[in-house]
Amino acid sequence: MYTYIKAFGLYKGLETGYKIKTHRVQHMSCKGMAHPFSLRPHTSDLPIFYQVFVRREYDISLGFEPRIIVDAGAHIGLAAVFFANKYPNATIFAIEPELSNFYMLEKNTSPYANIICLNKALAARDDVELSVTGSGSVTSNFVTGEWAGTDNASFRNRVQSISPEGLRQQFGFDRFDVVKIDIEGYEKELFEANAETWLSRTRCLIIEVHDQMKPGCSKSVFNALSAYDFSFFTHGENLVFLFE
């Protein structure tokens, strides 16, 4: 309870802690957020809420005001909502492949005109048909991969891919100010092909790597980044790269 009081103040902290303890967390509001949002009880929505709004893992000092933010692996939109409130002049592209998460993403971001939701998967190539698999209450661990039919018991849905460069060309902007990536191991494939087309246009990369889910993820990321000059630090579970 003390953690929530420290983060939100006495009254709001007690209210938040009680809701989470009793799983009455369908509707939440946080200091500094213009609109309330919804969470699903007994799911990994709760640890994501803790990560974003209590530990504030995306509250990073950038040294510039971003105008274009990509949130890949947007889940139910909590990071996108955080970015929209911190950077109200930015356009945020929230990309989420799994349908049940995407419905919540649309619901939570609907009050924000500067958030564009895409039911796609970020990938190295455009218009590849991918499968989304996963099960249970761990709603943040859905995995994308090449479509191989519906014989997988954990199959959730099919989704089309979009590449960072495809996104840039479709929406007509010049560069990425912030690219946040949390895509449960598919970062390995993303960084193994065509990464130069968008990394050369990126000012800040915030990424969570998942070697525990797919060995070689961090190696693929660092191999792609080796061609660029950047400063690097960790912030919570994220690796943060600021490009020179």
CA gap 110, 146 in Å, rounded? 31
Dihedral in degrees, nearest 10, Cα atoms 120, 161, 239, 8: 0
Extended strands (E) in the chain:
27-28, 37-38, 68-72, 91-95, 115-118, 121-122, 129-133, 143-146, 155-162, 176-181, 202-207, 230-235, 238-243
pLDDT above 70: residue 22? no
Q: What is the mean pLDDT of residues 188-199?
A: 96
SS3 content of the chain, % helix, strand, coil (to 5): 30, 25, 45
CA gap 72, 244 in Å, rounded? 23
**CB of 141 within 8 A of CB of 184?**
yes
CA gap 56, 163 in Å, rounded? 28
Query: Over pLDDT 90: what percentage of the chain?
Result: 68
Q: What is the mean pLDDT of residues 145-160?
A: 72
**pLDDT recorded at residue 139:** 57
Write the CATH number of the domain with boundaries 61-243.
3.40.50.150
**CB of 186 within 8 A of CB of 121?**
yes
Structure tokens at 81: 């909502």
pLDDT band at 146 (very low <50, low <70, confident <90, very high): confident
Give the distance from CA 4 to its chain's centroid: 23
**pLDDT recorded at residue 19:** 67
**pLDDT recorded at residue 210:** 93
pLDDT band at 42 (very low <50, low <70, confident <90, very high): confident
Higher pLDDT, 80 or 27: 80
Q: State the chain's mean pLDDT as an integer.
A: 88
Q: Mind listing the pLDDT tens digit for each residue in 97-113?
A: 999 999 999 999 999 99
**pLDDT recorded at residue 196:** 96
Vertex 152 angle, CA 150 and 158, to 5°: 50
Vertex 137 angle, CA 86 and 23, to 5°: 70
